């Protein structure tokens, strides 16, 4: 890594401000990615949403009734 050379304290302050802003942006992007992962792996999303859950419940109910009828 190349060490930067600065000619004044103003350049150093400017670089520090830029680095601070980049760090804040990275933190916010990390928060956004974490929230996206949480919503992706939320149980209702994994099962296909509310309509998917209703469909699975109805199908399992019908299958149970049919199995009892033919058993």
User: 55-68 burial by CB neighbour count: b if 16+ within 10 A, else e?
Assistant: eeeeeeeeeeeeee
Looking at residue 49, its pLDDT comes to 59
Cα–Cα dist 21/17, whole Å: 6
Question: What pTM does this model have?
Answer: 0.56
Q: Per the structure block, which two tokens stand in for 9?
A: 């304290």
pLDDT digits (tens, 9 = 90+) for 47-60: 565 566 677 788 88
Tell me the domain boundaries of the chain: 8-40, 45-71
Q: Please provide the distance, in angstroms rounded to a whole number, between the alpha carbons at the two ends of the chain.
A: 74
Instruction: Count other Cβ atoms within 10 Å, centred on residue 47.
Output: 13
Return the percentage of the chain with pLDDT > 70, whole number: 83
Looking at residue 46, its pLDDT comes to 59
User: What average pLDDT does range 30-51 have in this prediction?
Assistant: 76
pLDDT digits (tens, 9 = 90+) for 13-33: 999 999 999 999 999 999 999
């Amino acid at each position: 890594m190349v060490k930067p050379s600065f000619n004044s304290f103003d350049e150093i302050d400017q670089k520090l401000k830029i680095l601070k802003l980049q760090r804040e942006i990275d933190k916010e992007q990390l928060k956004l990615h974490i929230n996206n992962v949480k919503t992706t792996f939320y149980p209702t999303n994994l099962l296909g949403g509310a309509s998917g859950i209703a469909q699975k419940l109805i199908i399992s109910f019908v299958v149970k009734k049919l199995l009892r009828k033919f058993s």
